[in-house]
Structure 1
């Protein structure tokens, strides 16, 4: 079915050529798309690229952008900031793309932020951390950068709302030492007083560490009521397993980057009961019919599973919708304003009420994400799968 979709898209492009009667009609709108297709975060980057293919197929089958098909120019960052910089420069100065989607991780996103700003090319990133859309002397301007996943600050707020509701006021933090983890620490510590929370311990670990028993022991000895972990990838599952091995009887909360069947697979029975903020994609069938996202997410799931069969290799996780939303938002702005860089950037920034997979987006010049806490739910592992948290 996936091959059939691509053939249909190609046929549409050919028909556009003959309909226009000129070579100009054969032009495509190039969008650069770079992700971690190899390296430690390829389990996120590879399915993100597949979703990017899927949404471009859909847009092209429906007539492209005002009659012009989209063409993805794909790059593999390999999780290397230096490679990401080279690819971004290629996209902007050689490929002459109209926009850029990606990359996968906060560190690579920050590495290309200045390049994108200098090249005046709108970029819709699929990274978790906030710095890519934060300004100031240290972080630099973010005029040309947007991102589709929720801000870390929004995820922290959603988690803290849940903790407050459950009467959990003393927490211990265990965070990765990479860019994403440091971004989490920034918001976890800054927002804790707003929710009446006391942080009794802060422990750090390397994102590639394979044992966090020392950090867990220190955290437990501080007497918290709950453990809050901020990382992505296998490290989160290792923390969960180590906690069970140590016999620590405290609730464990992970970040919004870990609602993924892979987390449960790696942590095994230790993950039972673990909770974390997530996109509604993870529990779509539990949403009320009045939720405007429900039919949109259900159609996405149908395409992902029934039409393309991606779920057989990459089960749906909280990251799955990020490239879909990014490309849909860019394409929607192109339909309104065209592909001239300044006009396109302004149109993206003025997007209001786009109902996506990850939330209802309302962007502003100050907020280049456009999602709030109502775009997230808290899920827990129960019976080896994710359900709405009790």
Structure 2
């Protein structure tokens, strides 16, 4: 009996690394609790959905993908701790997430120093900017850059003959990054910034800022924030009787925005991924088929009942697909994997067609975005 036990133990010891070798671990951390959980939780579900799809189709070169899940809790320190666990304990080959720009910035240096590729699902640009923002050699992101979304909105404003705008931004990293891009790019489109106000992302009243903005006689108000703050601005604007058009950022095309703002959201416009209006896309748009298939799978899972499709929905899908495509070609050796992700070309994703370079670790242009508006309580292509 003892010999049998010893033999079984030896077989288990031999088999353990072989079993481990049959899986490829990815770290995936999002706001599953905290102020951005309404984004982070469905992002996690999509991450699991795409991994299930990849594994059901045979995995990657015969190996199954495995996710190590973490909750950042909208806490930069927590995000840093989880990133270190992923890298040094779980031995992941790459990381996906987090949800917020500020938490992403707290992880940026960790991933870069550890030389582990990370494809972030944050909106702000500093995570993939160098100079004072630190090295981004190992950092990528799947959502459009703030700068790309700002430029798409400015193009639309120019087309509509709007030359004077007021800007309202959150005081977090995402809001500050948006303000930086608006001020940098607006002059290139002949647009003047006549007023600038800021607010805390947890503030519950923006009437003071809106009153100041109105007094400067802009032709439109541009707000750059995520979460409930955007809906509060919409409601406060209506309460004050301000009839100026309101433009939000690319982080707010979400049925939750309409739910929170109610009738006050009617007519509001904002840049968004094409996913939001997939049915309205021409058949010639290569994203239409991809987006409709994603929506079908998402609904089959039943996720839409609690988390309706929004502009964030495809971020984790695209991030994991770019990593998986790179692993298929070069395996999991860190430097080779990083380089292959950077060489991603013509990947038709949920959020756009990605063409990355050493200088651009996002790879999406203004043509990946559309302007949507709220009409009869739903998002449609803006007129």
Normalised by the length of structure 2, the TM-score is 0.95
Q: Which residue of structure 1 lines up, in the alignment, with residue 242 of structure 2? A: 248
Q: Rg larger in 1 or in 2?
A: 2
1:93 and 2:88 matched = yes
5 Å-filtered alignment, 1:44-193, equals 44-136=39-131, 138-193=132-187
5 Å-filtered alignment, 1:227-266, equals 227-266=221-260
1:229 match: secondary structure: strand
Q: Give a deviation string over 1:207-234, Cα, whole Å, max 9, x none.
A: 0000000000000000100000000000
Q: Give a deviation string over 1:228-271, Cα, whole Å, max 9, x none.
A: 00000000000000000000010000000000000000000000
Q: What is the root-mean-square deviation of aligned Cα atoms in Å?
A: 1.2
Q: Residue 197 of structure 1 is aligned with which of 191, 197, 209?
A: 191
Q: Residue 361 of structure 2 is aligned with which of 368, 372, 378?
A: 368
Q: Which residue of structure 1 lines up, in the alignment, with residue 270 of structure 2? A: 276
Q: What is the CA–CA distance in structure 2 between the aligned matches of 1:365 and 1:241, rounded to whole Å?
A: 43
Q: What is the CA–CA distance in structure 1 between the aligned matches of 2:338 and 2:20, rounded to whole Å?
A: 24
Distance 1:25 1:173, change over 3 A: closer
Q: Give a deviation string over 1:68-120, Cα, whole Å, max 9, x none.
A: 00000000000000000000000011111000000000000000100001110
Distance 1:22 1:121, change over 3 A: closer
Deviates further, 24-33 or 284-293: 24-33
Q: Which residue of structure 2 lines up, in the alignment, with residue 4 of structure 1? A: none
Distance 1:100 1:25, change over 3 A: closer
2:346 match: secondary structure: strand
Structure 1 position 139, deviation (Å): 0.6
What is the number of residues matched between the two proteins?
369
Distance 1:89 1:25, change over 3 A: closer
Distance 1:255 1:21, change over 3 A: closer
Q: After the TM superposition, which parts of structure 1 deviate over 4 Å for at least 4 consecutive aligned residues?
A: none
2:133 match: secondary structure: coil
Q: Residue 312 of structure 1 is aligned with which of 280, 298, 305?
A: 305
Q: What is the CA–CA distance in structure 1 between the aligned matches of 2:261 and 2:281, rounded to whole Å?
A: 27
Q: What is the CA–CA distance in structure 1 between the aligned matches of 2:107 and 2:351, rounded to whole Å?
A: 24
Q: What is the CA–CA distance in structure 1 between the aligned matches of 2:330 and 2:214, rounded to whole Å?
A: 55
Q: Give a deviation string over 1:183-208, Cα, whole Å, max 9, x none.
A: 00010000010000000000000000
2:237 match: secondary structure: helix
Q: What is the CA–CA distance in structure 2 between the aligned matches of 1:195 and 1:141, rounded to whole Å?
A: 31
Q: What is the CA–CA distance in structure 2 between the aligned matches of 1:179 and 1:243, rounded to whole Å?
A: 24
2:292 match: secondary structure: helix
Q: Residue 280 of structure 2 is aligned with which of 280, 286, 294?
A: 286
Q: Give a deviation string over 1:114-158, Cα, whole Å, max 9, x none.
A: 00011100000000000000000x210000000000000000000
Q: Give a deviation string over 1:292-350, Cα, whole Å, max 9, x none.
A: 00000000000000x20100000000000000000000000000010000000000000
Unmatched segments (≥5 aa) in structure 1 = 1-19
Q: Residue 330 of structure 1 is aligned with which of 309, 323, 329?
A: 323
1:353 and 2:315 matched = no
Structure 1 position 25, deviation (Å): 7.2
Q: What is the CA–CA distance in structure 2 between the aligned matches of 1:203 and 1:348, rounded to whole Å?
A: 39
Q: What is the CA–CA distance in structure 1 between the aligned matches of 2:348 and 2:115, rounded to whole Å?
A: 27
Q: Residue 209 of structure 1 is aligned with which of 203, 211, 227?
A: 203
Q: What is the CA–CA distance in structure 1 between the aligned matches of 2:154 and 2:16, rounded to whole Å?
A: 59
Unmatched segments (≥5 aa) in structure 2 = 1-14
Normalised by the length of structure 1, the TM-score is 0.94
